[in-house]
Amino acid sequence: MQISNYLSAALLNAALRNTAFTSPPTVYIALYTSDPTAADTGTEVSGGAYARQAITFGAPALLSGKQTVTTMADVTFPIATADWGLVTHIGLRTAASGGNLLWTQALVNPRSILTGDRPKFLAGSTLVRFAQ
């Protein structure tokens, strides 16, 4: 995943400048029809019963030499009541609406979400990794 400008500045300030960083009480996964970029400029899905969903991660573990967290449970979105478009990216955000972007990732298999579809991410399928 690509770290956002917001989070990279917050972590650098917290680690190197003794500036407090308050982690969000809940992290949400958002779906995008364009790359959110580190600057949070992408197009998030809207309408058709779309809503960001809470996502929970397990404790960090060293995988392939990199600190990694993976999702603990399935994340299921509401049934689309209208076409959401071609979903190409996900973003991890600090709030159910608005808030700050934390990380982004292009989907390996972008998919058009049509009326009646219910997107789902299986437990363990979403991960955040720090390169060392």
Q: Where are the domains of the chain?
A: 2-130
Cα–Cα nearest to 90, from 67, 69, 111: 111
What pLDDT sits at residue 43?
Answer: 98
H/E segment holding residue 14: helix 5-16
* Token representation of residue 12: 């650098």
Tokens 């009646």 belong to: 116
DSSP character at residue 24:
P
At residue 131, the pLDDT reads 60
pLDDT in tens, the chain (132 residues): 899 999 999 999 999 999 999 999 999 999 999 999 999 999 999 999 999 999 999 999 988 888 899 999 999 999 999 999 999 999 999 999 999 999 999 999 999 999 999 999 999 887 787 764
* pLDDT score at 77: 97
